[in-house]
Amino acid sequence: MYYRADGKADITGYCFQYDPGFGNEFIVRKVVAGREEKAPIVRVKMPAGFDIFGVPHEVTISVKGDQHTVTIDSKVVLGFRDSTFTSGSAGLRTWGSSTQALFDKVIVIPK
């Protein structure tokens, strides 16, 4: 999920994701001109038994000033401070061998 992103084809902003390449972790990376920075800003192991396939989850990303908070199913999974990108849009993506993602409802509440 992109947020505080510029909306260009070669997007710049933050990206929250589940990344199996990082050992089943939730991570946030900066993306600049369409390229993800190698090291995440923050990363956290997913809870034991957390199922991501075929199970709906509610994900909320909230940013107030430089304080970022990500909740999944009403539980805070990570929080951090960063002020690199101060405004922008939100967006969704899939990558790699992903052929489908289902989003039931997307709500963006501007500041």
pLDDT single digits (tens) 22-55: 888 999 999 999 999 989 999 999 988 888 877 8
Tens of pLDDT, residue by residue over 70-80, are 999 999 999 99
Question: What percent of the chain has pLDDT above 70?
Answer: 95
How high is the pLDDT of residue 20? Answer: 76
**DSSP-based three-state secondary structure for 20:** helix
- Evaluate whether 13 touches 29 at the Cβ level (below 8 Å): no
Quote the CA–CA distance of 99 and 101 in Å, as a whole number: 7
What residues contact residue 86 under an 8 Å CB cut-off, 6+ apart? 4
What pTM, to 2 d.p., does this model score? 0.89
Residue 98, pLDDT score? 67
- For residue 111, the model assigns a pLDDT of 66
